[in-house]
Amino acid sequence: MLCRPRMTTLQDILKREQGDGADNPDEGETYFAGGEKSGTMMQGAARDDTSGSLIDRILKKAAQGSAPPETLDTHAAPRQTYFTGAGYRLGSDEVESQMVNSARTEEAEEEHLGSVVRRLTFWRTGFTIDDGPLQSYDDPANKAFLMAINSGQAPLDRLNVKPGQPVELSVERRLDQDYVPSAPAPASMKPFAGAGQRLGSPVTTSSAASASSAQPATAAASSAAAPAGPTVDESQPVTTLQIRLADGSRQVARFNHDHTVGQLRQFVIAASSTASRPFVLQTTFPPRELKDDAQTLKEAGLLNSVIMQRFV
C-alpha cells in the first residue's frame, strides 16, 4: 500500500512540546512542507533560535517533517462532477431536433487556469504577500489567514486567485529583520507631445495651434495623480492600508491610528472613478462590513490591513 506523507497542521504544532532544543542540520537550506492536497516551498535563512514566535515554530516543525511541494487547494470544499456535454431538444414532425450545449461546458473551459506563484515573507512584526503592505501578526484576520494557509487552503481574496486555480506558495523567513517598504517606482518618462519647427522656416498657423493645444493636454495628464489622504502626523503611530477599489484598481495609503473609518471612506470616494455609485467598505478575510464611521482605525482593527470597496 502506498503511504502518502502527512501534512503538519497548526493543531499538531500546538500539541507538541515547546522545549525542543535540538540543532537543525538543514539550517539555511530550502525545504518543503505539505501533503497530498497542498504544499509550500520555504527558503531558509539565518535562524534566530531565541525567537519564540508561532511562525518560528511552524517553520522549524515543517523542516523536521517536510514533503515534496505541491499546490495549494483553492476549492473551499470537494467539488462535484457535472455533465458537461451536449443535449438535444426533441422536435416533432414539423420541427427537427436541435442540439443544446451545456452551460457547464463554458464554465469548465473558464476553469482551466494556469498555475500562479505567490511569495509569503515573514518579518519580525508581520508578513507580506508579494510586494503588498505589512500584515500584523496581532490582527485576528491575519491569524485566520495563516491557519488557512497551514491547513492547505488558499484564501482567494488574499492571494488574488480564482476558484480552482493552482497556487504555488513560496515562503521566505526574515524574522530577524524589520519590514521596510519598497521605494516607489520612478515616474515613467512621457514622449514630447508638442510641435517642432524647422530652423529658418516661418511659423505656420496650424503649427502654432498644435503647440498651444498640446499644453493643456500635458497639464491635464500631470494633474491626474493619486488622491491625497488625510494629513499624517509622523510623531504619532502610523499604519499602511491597501485599498482594493471596485473598479479593479488599488491604492496604498498611510494613516494615523486615530484616523477614522469616515476619513478612510472619504479617501476611497476621492480615489474611485465611480464614486457616484453606492458602495460599502469591508475587510477581506473574514469579510466584515465597516459601518461605524466614527470608529478609529485602531478600534476597528484595521491596522496594516487590506480594505475592499464593494458596490451595492
C-beta separation of 306 from 269 below 8 A? no
pLDDT, tens digit, 9 for 90 and up, residues 232-284: 999 999 999 999 888 888 899 999 999 999 999 999 888 887 667 888 999 88
- The arrangement of secondary structure in 10-74+113-173, i.e. its CATH architecture, is 2-Layer Sandwich (3.30)
User: Is 3.40.50.920 the CATH number for 238-311?
Assistant: no
For the chain, the average pLDDT equals 69
The label of the residue with cell 422536435 reads: 91
Helix (H) or strand (E) holding 140: helix 140-150
SS3 309: strand
C-beta separation of 178 from 123 below 8 A? yes
Question: What is the C-alpha separation between 121 and 43, in angstroms, rounded?
Answer: 10
End-to-end CA distance of the chain: 54
Tell me the β-bridge partners of 251: 243
Question: What is the C-alpha separation between 137 and 86, in angstroms, rounded?
Answer: 50
SS3 265: helix
- Closest C-alpha among 40, 67, 70, 42 to residue 56: 42
What residues does each domain of the chain span? 10-74+113-173, 238-311
For residue 156, the 8-state DSSP code is: H
pLDDT, tens digit, 9 for 90 and up, residues 148-196: 777 777 677 787 877 777 877 777 888 889 998 876 666 666 666 666 6
Q: How far is CA 171 from the centre of its chain?
A: 15
pLDDT, tens digit, 9 for 90 and up, residues 85-127: 566 667 666 666 666 665 555 455 445 567 778 888 888 888 8
